[in-house]
Amino acid sequence: MIRFDNYNFAYECNEKEQGIHGIDLEIKQGEFVLLCGESGCGKTTIIRSVNGIASHLMKGSSSGKVYVNGIDVSESEMYKLSDVVASVFQNPKSQFFNTDVESEIVYTLENRGVDIGVIEERLNLAMKDLKLERLAGRSMFELSGGEKQQVAIAGGYIAGTPVVALDEPTANLDPDAILKIRGILEKMKALGKTVLIAEHRLSWLKGLSDRVIYMKEGRIEKDMDAELFFGMSEEERKSLGLRELSFESEKGLKPDLHPDNYEKRKLLEVNDLTLAYKKHIVQENLNLYVREGEILGITGVNGAGKTTLLRALAGLSKKQKGAVILDGKKSTRKSRRKRFGMVMQDVNYQLFADSCENECMLGNPLVNSEEAASLLNEAMLSGLNERHPQSLSGGQKQRLALAVCKASDKEILLLDEPTSGLDYKSMLAVKDTLRKLSANGKAIIIVTHDKEFLSLICDRVQKLRKI
């Protein structure tokens, strides 16, 4: 179904992305293939070579051939390829074109000029098959990230293409949403579709993948049977720089206080807090605290108010009831905005300067060039002083945002889903940076679904229940 004949692709002026070299690969019809490896290993480029994005839309040079269903990808028109390959991308926000769910699902069929009766028939069938009836008639903007991804995959399902190529579709999703995506992909597999998926989070693909391709520096390093791959030892997995391979248990949840922290003073206390999101109460009478130098993890299902809690703590939104106590005194929103630093889920919105060094100095007149360099060094960004913050990788941007928090002398740091889209190595780097900050006495609160990360970093975990 898919064949790579000594295929090479090199990007023109792109520091972040690695091309691919000497790829020889044959994927049979109905195979479910997982592509994995560290960030920048070339797995996304493999996906782009199959759906034609690399040879048609990216600036770069290629040699060799890629065939999909007998079609030479580089010679074919993109719209002809869209009859053969359906694509799902990482960012749920920027891959939908229509504003309502049904129009988005049938978009490929409309572009093909398929008869309207056939479209309606296939749409009804797909909504039922994929259990998407609850989304009917809704605006795309109202949907959660997980629901948007389901709609994107449904678009591929309805298009009836023999190949589905997915590029990190779960990077921003919570475990419930991931399970729903898995359900849809199981159906696709049962229908005999060839599925090619690039991912960092691997555990949810256990039992679904037939074959796993591990890539390194643009080359295929291992091509394994999935059973063998998911059976590898922890040491081997870590040495390959991969995230956990099995569905994580509750081992990450540590309800007890870390013994080292017993003696430290409570920096923040929250008493009987009630929170609302869009006038809807999401938490009632919540109590929590964090001590100096402690890393507190907050987890819970979607809609339990995790991000709402962070926003209320940071003084960005109003709480309904209750008190936020800092150093034993009731605090105001304005005072909290001064003392809390926040790393948002989409860190792009909080980097403003034209270089990493200037980013550290922006709004901090007391930080000089030398101090900025040492802050960057501590955040494992040494040598990147002159780089534009927006040109960094996801993990590097997060670490830069943390360095900025330290530069502004923020005492309590709040992080919203810091590991979405990060590979194992970047996750470890974020962990190390956070550990250094906590050793300096900063209290850190992390909201995340990522149990692997929780178990790695947090001293204590508090679970929010949905009410």
Nearer to other proteins (CB atom), residue 287 or residue 348: 348
Q: Which residues, at least 6 apart from 443, have a Cβ–Cβ distance to it below 8 Å?
A: 267, 268, 290, 291, 292, 293, 294, 296, 411, 412, 413
Minimum distance between the CB of residue 20 and other proteins, rounded to whole angstroms? 18
Identity of the residue, 159 or 444, whose beta carbon is nearer to other proteins in the bound complex: 159
For residue 2, count other CB atoms closer than 10 A to its CB.
25
Amino acid identity, residue 93? K
Q: Pick between residue 161 and residue 455 the one whose CB is nearest to other proteins.
A: 161
Q: How far is the CB of 109 from other proteins (least distance, A)?
A: 7
Pairwise CA distance, residues 412 & 406, whole Å = 10
**CB crowding 219-244: b at 16 or more within 10 Å, else e:** ebeeebebeebbebeeeebeebbbbb
Question: Least distance from C-beta 106 to other proteins, angstroms?
Answer: 6
Q: CB of 32 within 8 A of CB of 184?
A: no
CB of 145 to other proteins, least distance (A): 13
Tokens of 145: 């990230």
CB nearer to other proteins: give 297 or 341. Answer: 341
For residue 79, the minimal CB distance to other proteins (Å) is 4
Give the integer Cα–Cα distance in Å for 208 and 245: 13
Chain-centroid distance of CA 257 in Å reads 29
Three-state SS at 40: coil
Which of 195, 236, 192 minimizes the C-alpha distance to 212? 195
Quote the least distance from Cβ 189 to other proteins, whole Å: 21
243 vs 336, beta carbon nearer other proteins: 336
* In the complex, least distance from residue 358 CB atom to other proteins, rounded to whole angstroms: 11
Phi, psi of 195, deg, nearest 5: -115, 130
Residue whose C-alpha is closest to residue 414's, from 422, 431, 403, 402? 402
Q: Please, which residue, 320 or 364, has the CB nearer to other proteins?
A: 364
Nearer to other proteins, 215 or 404 (CB): 404
Which residues here bind other proteins, judged by CB under 8 A?
Answer: 51-53, 56-57, 77-79, 81-83, 85-87, 89, 91, 93-100, 103, 106-116, 119-120, 141, 155, 159, 311, 314-316, 337, 340-342, 344, 346, 348-352, 354, 362-365, 390, 404, 408
Task: Give φ, ψ of 332 to 5 degrees.
Answer: -100, 165
| Pairing, β 163-167 against β 85-88 | parallel
**Of 53 and 126, CB closest to other proteins:** 53
